[in-house]
Amino acid sequence: MPEQVDVLICGSGSAGLCAAVWLARCGVDFKILEQRDGPLQQGQADGVQVRTVEILESLGLSEDLLKEACHVLELTFWTSSGDEGIRRSRRVPDTEMGLSHLPHVILNQARINELMIRDIQRSCGNTNIRYGSRVTDVKVDGQTARDPNAHCVTVKTVENGTEHVYRAKYVLGCDGAHSAVRKSLGFNMVGDSTDAVWAVMDVYPVTDFPDIRKKSVLQTDAGNLVVIPREGEEKVRFYMEMPPGWAAADVTPDNPHLKARLERIFHPYAVAVAETAWFSVYAIGQRLADRFTQDYRVFLTGDACHTHSPKAGQGMNVSLQDGYNIGWKLAAVLCGQARPALLETYVTERQETAKDLIEFDRYFTKLFSSAYRKEHRVSSADFQDYFVKMGRYTAGLAIQYKPSLTVQPGEEDGLAAGVPVGMRFPSAQVVRLFDVRTLQLAKALVSDSRWHLIVFGGHVNDEEARTRLFTVTDNLSEALSKLPLFNRRVHDFLHPILVLKSDRLLLDEKNIPPFYTPKTGRGGVRCHLNVFLDDQTYHDGHGEAYKKYGVDPKVGAMVLVRPDQYVARIFALEDAVGVWRFFEAYLNPTTNGTTSV
SS3 73: coil
Q: Minimal CA–CA distance to 511: which of 520, 502, 522?
A: 502
Radius of gyration of the chain (CA): 26
CA 333 to chain centre: 21
Please give the helix or strand (H or E) that residue 153 lies within, else none.
strand 153-159
Asked whether the beta carbons of 533 and 431 are under 8 A apart, the reply is: yes
CA–CA dist 120, 60 (Å, integer): 12
Q: How many CB atoms lie within 10 A of CB 52?
A: 29
d(CA 107, CA 70): 7
Distance CA 558, CA 576 (A): 9
> How many Cβ atoms sit within 10 Å of the Cβ of residue 530?
24
Distance CA 307, CA 279 (A): 20
For the annotated catalytic residues, the residue numbers are 46, 230, 239, 310
Evaluate whether 513 touches 473 at the Cβ level (below 8 Å).
Answer: yes
**For the residues of 280-344, what is the DSSP string, one character each?**
EEEEEEEEEES-SEETTTEEE-GGGTEE--STTS-HHHHHHHHHHHHHHHHHHHHTTSB-GGGGH
**Do 368 and 378 touch, CB atoms closer than 8 A?**
no
The answer to whether 48 and 105 are in contact (CB under 8 A) is yes
Give the C-alpha separation, 441 to 213, whole Å: 32
What is the length of the chain? 597
Q: Exposed, middle or buried, 529 (CB in 10 Å: 0-12/13-18/19+)?
A: buried
Task: Kindly report the backbone phi and psi dihedral angles of residue 380, in degrees, each rounded to the nearest multiple of 5, phi listed first.
Answer: -60, -35
3-state secondary structure 450-516: CEEEEEEEECCCCHHHHHHHHHHHHHHHHHHHCCHHHHHHHHHCEEEEEEECCCHHHCCHHHCCHHH
**Is the separation of the CB atoms in 384 and 77 below 8 Å?**
yes
User: What is the enclosing helix (H) or strand (E) of 388?
Assistant: helix 380-389
Handedness of CA 403, 408, 409, 411 (dihedral sign): positive
The angle, 0 to 180 degrees and rounded to 10, between the axes of the packed helices 50-58 and 315-334 is: 30
Q: φ, ψ for residue 50 (rounded to 5)?
A: -55, -45
Peptide bond into 268 cis (omega under 30): yes
Residue 328 CA to residue 404 CA, distance in Å, equals 16
Q: Which amino acid is at 493?
A: F
In 208-269, DSSP assigns E strands to: 215-220, 223-229, 236-241
